[in-house]
Structure 1
Amino acid sequence: MTLTVKGLTGGYSSQPVLKDIDFNIQSSEIVGLIGLNGAGKSTIIKHIIGLMRPMKGEISIDGHQLTDDADVYRQAFTYIPEMPVLYETLTLREHIELTGMAYGLSKEEALKNAQPLLENFRLDKRLDWLPIYFSKGMKQKVMIVCAFLVDTSLYVIDEPFLGLDPMAIHDFIDLLKAKREDGASVLMTTHVLATAEQYCDRFLFLADGELVAAGTLDEIRQQYQMPKATLDDLYLRLAKGADDHASA
């Protein structure tokens, strides 16, 4: 088991946003975290990557908790944020080298690992460019390259498709599938549901800080008694349920 979230309650103040969240992600599994804006998806991610501390509950990756050994915990995952975060004074090459250093790789190892990714995302001729010269989509590709140049147990990804062209989306999905075949786990938020339906193994449905459904597409169809539903249909049902809960 790669990621275990048990009894997670947390938020930004004394009033919790997340309420007793339980789920796990196995090795070789891609899991989609689905919910409306404000449902708590980003809050869950911030707790997993250590930017927020739980009020109650536990989070572990490969059996390690952040409070046990922060370095071991952090090296067990990589993270791609919704908005690219780059250092304006560092070139693409230097971003790759810096990422490698954080995971104990030499500059040479980091660049070697990054080379096929650079070629796939057509960045191999841009190694000495500064971020100011990159479009938003290119910046997102830089984040993808930096995240996937290291082999970790878990990849945490927040809305990865924003700014990517169709070819880059195709290449990114192939990369996710390859990591899954290598035994890694992926937790990803996305609103591109028709695409997620095709490659996610399971889904977690979040509403108002509570986990309201979890399982394969067929299992969630059964829960909502919608045997022919697409993921889009189920999302709309989730949204209606959230609206009913808010107005109650």
Structure 2
Amino acid sequence: MIHFEDVTRTFGNRTAVERLNLSVGKGELVALLGHNGAGKTTSIKMLVGLLQPSFGQVKVGPYVVSESMREASRLIGYVPDQPFLYDKLSAREFLEFVGELYGLTASEVRTAVQREVERFQLGEFMDRLTESYSHGMRQRTVFAAALIHEPEVLVVDEPMVGLDPQCIRLVKDFLRAYADNGKTVLMSTHTLGIAEEIADRVAVMNSSRLVFEGTVAQLRERVPGVLGTLESLYLALTDVSVFDGNSNGDFRSHSESPVLEP
């Protein structure tokens, strides 16, 4: 469903994403990992049509996003890293507004709103202005809006930032279930433990390039001699030039975890 085909994005003389090739199929949840500035968020913005590639193309289903944005957008639900809501609307009003933007009928909007209210446990907050919401409630509402049209593809950028444990569990369970129901999920995250727990595959970006794509088991084979969690494997992979063939297996370690925000 998602295909990055030799995608490059430049800003002036700076290359933010270089020759990215990555596919995510139906029923898959892929976690996109990388340091600050690695190219994750730029890649996601090209996927959802907020940026255009300088070279190459991004496809969602049969559509090239830059050429068929309207058609592609109907297949995509997008949860950005910073939840945006209209503060003077209630969650109900906001969800109804989004449903109308997607062309749903009044009956379809009512059904969709009720479905998402139940899915994200929004009931008692539905008629309060969103300006009164906690970060977790805002994030739940943004998720509900992204799913109002039942998209085939869900794209989420740092979905766990600032959430309490209850919200994290709710989001984790939902993302895994959504993929298990045959949908396509691409999740950018710096929460490596969650990526290891729920992702089918991980894709690691470093310095604008994709340096690994596969399962955690395959990553362990790629980084011999490093035991433990995905965090340990990630640090080893991105701390040496494995992708340039400069590694001799002597992987250095950091004294602290890196900042992995987009």
Distance, in Å, in 2 between the alignment partners of 1:111 and 1:81 is 24
Question: Against the structure 1 CA distance between its residues 42 and 206, is the aligned structure 2 distance closer, same or farther, given a 3 Å change threshold?
Answer: same
Fraction of identical pairs, as percent: 31
Distance apart, 1:126 and its partner CA: 1.6
Question: Against the structure 1 CA distance between its residues 139 and 204, is the aligned structure 2 distance closer, same or farther, given a 3 Å change threshold?
Answer: same
Distance apart, 1:81 and its partner CA: 0.6
C-alpha distance after superposition, 1:120-147 (max 9, x if no partner): 4332122222121111111111111111
Q: For 2:145, give the aligned amino acid.
A: C
Aligned to 1:16, what secondary structure does the other structure show?
Answer: strand
Match of 2:125 in 1: 126
Normalised TM-score (structure 2)? 0.86
Aligned to 2:99, what secondary structure does the other structure show?
Answer: helix
- The 5-angstrom pairing of residues 33-44 of structure 1 reads 33-44=32-43
Residue 239 of structure 2 is aligned to residue 219 of structure 1: no
Normalised TM-score (structure 1)? 0.91
Match of 1:139 in 2: 138
Match of 2:55 in 1: 56
Work out whether residues 205 and 212 of structure 1, in 8 Å CA contact, stay in contact via their aligned partners in 2: yes
Aligned to 1:241, what secondary structure does the other structure show?
Answer: coil
Work out whether residues 33 and 203 of structure 2, in 8 Å CA contact, stay in contact via their aligned partners in 1: yes
Residue 10 of structure 2 is aligned to residue 11 of structure 1: yes
Match of 2:237 in 1: 238
- The 5-angstrom pairing of residues 56-95 of structure 1 reads 56-95=55-94
Match of 2:97 in 1: 98
Question: Against the structure 1 CA distance between its residues 154 and 120, is the aligned structure 2 distance closer, same or farther, given a 3 Å change threshold?
Answer: closer
Match of 2:193 in 1: 194
Distance apart, 1:113 and its partner CA: 2.3
Distance, in Å, in 2 between the alignment partners of 1:143 and 1:7 is 31
Distance, in Å, in 2 between the alignment partners of 1:227 and 1:116 is 45
Question: Against the structure 1 CA distance between its residues 50 and 120, is the aligned structure 2 distance closer, same or farther, given a 3 Å change threshold?
Answer: closer
Distance, in Å, in 2 between the alignment partners of 1:238 and 1:223 is 8
Match of 1:153 in 2: 152
More divergent stretch after superposition (212-221 vs 164-173) = 164-173
More divergent stretch after superposition (28-37 vs 136-145) = 136-145
Q: For 2:129, give the aligned amino acid.
A: L
- The 5-angstrom pairing of residues 174-185 of structure 1 reads 174-185=173-184
Distance, in Å, in 2 between the alignment partners of 1:202 and 1:111 is 36
C-alpha distance after superposition, 1:17-49 (max 9, x if no partner): 111110100100000000011111111011111
Distance, in Å, in 2 between the alignment partners of 1:208 and 1:133 is 39
Question: Against the structure 1 CA distance between its residues 106 and 125, is the aligned structure 2 distance closer, same or farther, given a 3 Å change threshold?
Answer: farther
Work out whether residues 195 and 202 of structure 2, in 8 Å CA contact, stay in contact via their aligned partners in 1: no
Q: For 1:224, give the aligned amino acid.
A: V
Aligned residue pairs, count? 243
Distance apart, 1:66 and its partner CA: 2.3
Distance, in Å, in 2 between the alignment partners of 1:227 and 1:236 is 10
Gap regions ≥5 residues in structure 2: 245-262
Question: Against the structure 1 CA distance between its residues 56 and 211, is the aligned structure 2 distance closer, same or farther, given a 3 Å change threshold?
Answer: same
Work out whether residues 218 and 227 of structure 1, in 8 Å CA contact, stay in contact via their aligned partners in 2: no
Work out whether residues 3 and 22 of structure 2, in 8 Å CA contact, stay in contact via their aligned partners in 1: yes
Distance, in Å, in 2 between the alignment partners of 1:226 and 1:81 is 36
Work out whether residues 137 and 162 of structure 1, in 8 Å CA contact, stay in contact via their aligned partners in 2: no
Aligned to 2:108, what secondary structure does the other structure show?
Answer: helix
Work out whether residues 96 and 111 of structure 1, in 8 Å CA contact, stay in contact via their aligned partners in 2: no
Work out whether residues 3 and 24 of structure 1, in 8 Å CA contact, stay in contact via their aligned partners in 2: yes
Distance, in Å, in 2 between the alignment partners of 1:149 and 1:226 is 46
Distance, in Å, in 1 between the alignment partners of 2:220 and 2:111 is 44
Distance, in Å, in 1 between the alignment partners of 2:158 and 2:110 is 26
Question: Against the structure 1 CA distance between its residues 165 and 80, is the aligned structure 2 distance closer, same or farther, given a 3 Å change threshold?
Answer: same
Runs of at least 4 residues off by over 6 Å: none
